[in-house]
């Protein structure tokens, strides 16, 4: 995410960025920070934000299809390539009300970013820098200075999550494997 977008974070979450137009009928390519383009089908509207902080009115999604880790999206009010070109480079933000109807047990990636992570015995690992999916599960990328840990988001590993921190119970060897200090190294 090289661009910085200013928007009311209490109301919206940044989920992606508009790329180049796709075709002649107003569709745009969209990169999604979650890498899960299928999620777009759950949303009726998206809001765009420019780098200067100006926010569009909600744009109704009329078409959406996965394309690699992104998507090709059509909006009701964007009917041609010229209109699509004007959107290039804008951030894609989602009104938090769009996800308010999710099940109470659901977690969203944005809720983990920046949280402190410690083990059940109180060892501080760092903060969640970002999350990615390896195809089988979602992985927390935890960083503290030069130390980095990759921890799967599994109920068996994440024992507690609050608004401030995550407590993990990693299986033996996981943290050492991720940090490059696995047992049995060259002596």
- What integer pLDDT is reported at residue 186 of this predicted model? 46
The radius of gyration of the chain's CA atoms, rounded to the nearest angstrom, is: 19
Instruction: Tell me, yes or no, whether 20 and 85 share the same domain.
Output: yes
The count of structural domains within the chain is: 2
The whole-number pLDDT of residue 113 equals: 78
How many CB atoms are closer than 10 A to CB 52?
Answer: 7
| Helical spans, DSSP H, in the chain | 81-85, 174-179
Domain span at residue 82 reads: 12-97
Q: What is the mean pLDDT of the chain?
A: 82
Last residue of a domain, one of 69, 97, 125: 97
Query: Does residue 157 fall inside a structural domain?
Result: yes
DSSP strand pairing (165-168 vs 116-119): parallel
Low-confidence winner among 16-30, 65-79, 96-110, 155-169 (lowest mean pLDDT): 96-110
Are both 93 and 113 inside the same structural domain?
Answer: no
Give the angle 103-104-105 at the CA atoms, nearest 5°: 90
Q: What is the pLDDT of residue 27?
A: 95
Residues 86 and 134 in one domain: no
Tens digits of per-residue pLDDT, 9-59? 778 888 889 999 999 999 999 988 766 777 787 888 899 999 888 899 999
Any domain includes 2: no
Give a yes or no: residue 102 inside a domain: no
Domain co-membership, 63 together with 120: no
Instruction: With respect to residue 6, please indicate whether it lies within any of the assigned structural domains.
Output: no
């Amino acid at each position: 995410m090289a661009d910085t977008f200013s928007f009311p974070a209490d109301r919206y979450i940044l989920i992606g960025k508009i790329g180049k137009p796709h075709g002649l009928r107003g569709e745009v390519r969209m990169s999604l920070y979650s890498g899960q383009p299928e999620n777009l089908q759950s949303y009726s509207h998206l809001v765009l934000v420019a780098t200067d902080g100006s926010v569009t009115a909600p744009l109704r999604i009329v078409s959406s299809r996965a394309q690699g880790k992104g998507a090709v999206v059509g909006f009701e009010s964007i009917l041609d390539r010229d209109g699509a070109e004007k959107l290039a480079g804008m951030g894609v933000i989602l009104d938090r009300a769009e996800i308010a109807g999710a099940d109470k047990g659901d977690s969203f990636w944005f809720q983990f970013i920046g949280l402190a992570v410690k083990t059940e015995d109180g060892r501080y690992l760092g903060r969640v820098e970002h999350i990615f999916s390896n195809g089988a599960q979602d992985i927390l990328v935890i960083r503290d200075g030069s130390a980095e840990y990759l921890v799967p988001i599994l109920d068996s590993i994440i024992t507690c999550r609050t608004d401030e921190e995550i407590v993990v119970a990693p299986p033996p060897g996981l943290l050492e494997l991720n940090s490059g200090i696995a047992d049995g190294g060259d002596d």
